[in-house]
Amino acid sequence: MNKGKFIVLEGVEGAGKSRQCSLLVDALNANGRDAILTREPGGAPLAEALRRLLLDPAYSPDAVSELYMYSAARRDHLNKVVFPALAEGKIVVCDRFIYSTLAYQGYGRGLDTEFIRRVNERTVTPLTVDLAMFIDVSPEVGFARKGGADKSDRLERESLQFFRRVYDGFKAMCASGELVSIDASGSKEQTAQKIYKAVTEIL
């Protein structure tokens, strides 16, 4: 269905994912492409409102509620931003997508991943993902880099064991070929170059 390209970057907290997303969009635009940056949960007004609810420590949704809230935000974001941009032939770079739902609600919270896959499938149809990458930084390194967890963020209040399971989930998706693993042990610039190279190979 895509006239444009849909590209996803995934990673655990502190992996430098958001920074890498904006470096990628800047590099694509500097090279004459028409690229936009967006994120999940969020990217559109209702989805951003759902993001605020999802990350607010005042609430404690269970894993199923989280799945549906992230999915509602995703559908709104796709309808309002992603589908129109792809129809115009743009490159859409998305900070997190369905792989985060599998990693956090599936591997992290223990929700059945086949159930999540069915919900994801229904949520994103008719979108196809052109390239999904995982910035490989462990949660230990990620949280050390960002100077510890942000306790005003509900998800970041989770234990290190939770983020270990999330990380293992992302690694399993790399092993199955769903995600392309990006080695992030070098400098920020070196990681950006690896990401840019992987993207230009599919353009």
- Can you give the binding site for ligand TMP, defined by CB under 6 A? 39-41, 70, 96, 100-101, 104-105, 155
When computed from its CA atoms, the radius of gyration of the chain, rounded to whole angstroms, is 16
Minimum gap (Å) between residue 66 Cβ and ligand TMP: 6
Minimum gap (Å) between residue 59 Cβ and ligand TMP: 13
Nearest to ligand TMP of 40, 76 (CB atom): 40
Nearest to ligand TMP of 33, 55 (CB atom): 55
Minimum gap (Å) between residue 163 Cβ and ligand TMP: 9
- Rounded Cα distance between 144 and 194, Å, is 23
Nearest to ligand TMP of 46, 155 (CB atom): 155
36: left (phi over 0), alpha (psi -120 to 50) or beta: beta
Question: Which amino acid does the sequence have at 36?
Answer: I
- Rounded Cα distance between 165 and 109, Å, is 9
Q: Do the bridges between strand 35-39 and strand 91-95 make them parallel or antiparallel, or are there none, so unpaired? A: parallel
Nearest to ligand TMP of 33, 53 (CB atom): 53
Minimum gap (Å) between residue 2 Cβ and ligand TMP: 20
Minimum gap (Å) between residue 143 Cβ and ligand TMP: 12
Q: Where are the alpha helices (DSSP H) in 56-187?
A: 63-77, 83-87, 98-100, 113-124, 139-145, 160-175
Nearest to ligand TMP of 30, 95 (CB atom): 95
154 and 53 Cβ atoms separated by less than 8 Å: no
Minimum gap (Å) between residue 103 Cβ and ligand TMP: 8
Nearest to ligand TMP of 131, 203 (CB atom): 131
Q: CA–CA distance from 49 to each of 25, 86, 96, 119 (Å)?
A: 24, 23, 17, 21
Q: Which of 22, 34, 24 is nearest to 131 (CA)?
A: 24
- Rounded Cα distance between 10 and 129, Å, is 13
Name the residue whose CB lies closest to ligand TMP.
104
